[in-house]
Amino acid sequence: MADALSAALKVPAVTIRARHNPTDAIYSQARGPVELDAEEFRPPPPAASFLLADDICGSGATLDAVRYYVSTITPAARVFTCTLCRNEGSRVQPDVWVWEVRDWVVFPWEDPATPMLATRLPAPEAARFAR
């Protein structure tokens, strides 16, 4: 998703890998601290703006961890967040998201053989914006 947004907005993309679930298995519960791999991240200009894109905002811990990391490197940066999905129970609200979900989500790029224990996303109708 980040690469597509980067291309559409004509801005560079930088990957920061963040992991909060021990595996990608369905219903693998997030636990412990968020692990970050920011090997590709290079300090930007002091007043840079960032678009932090993720597939889902479950608890919000991953968005918070990456936002905090970026703010320690570039304190004056403005960080905007967007996700495809936001869990209804999340304490964090991205700036923009598409689907509000209650259950585990199977994204179109994931294995189609995944059991139907998770929510299959319908066609998007509109983006949602934080208040």
Residue entry with tokens 């189609």: 112
CA separation for the pair 94, 83 (Å, rounded): 7
pLDDT above 90 coverage of the chain, percent: 15
Q: What is the pTM of this model?
A: 0.76
pLDDT, mean of residues 50-74 = 88
Q: What are the structure tokens assigned to 34, written together?
A: 């968020």
pLDDT > 60? residue 92: yes
What are the distances in angstroms from CA 101 to CA 12, 34, 89?
30, 22, 9
Q: Which residues contact 96 (CB under 8 A, 6 or more apart)?
A: 80, 81, 82, 83, 127, 128, 129, 130
Query: What's at 106, amino acid-wise?
Result: V
Q: What is the pLDDT of residues 1-24, one digit of tens each?
A: 777 777 887 777 777 888 877 666
Structure tokens at 9: 């907005």
Q: What percent of the chain has pLDDT over 70?
A: 79
pLDDT at 24: 62
Domains of the chain (ranges; CATH) run: 2-18+46-129 (3.40.50.2020)
pLDDT in tens, 25-50: 666 666 668 888 887 777 766 667 88
Torsion angle of alpha carbons 67, 72, 76, 79, nearest 10°? -10
Mean of pLDDT over the chain: 80
- The CB density around residue 113, as the number of other CB atoms within 10 Å, is 5
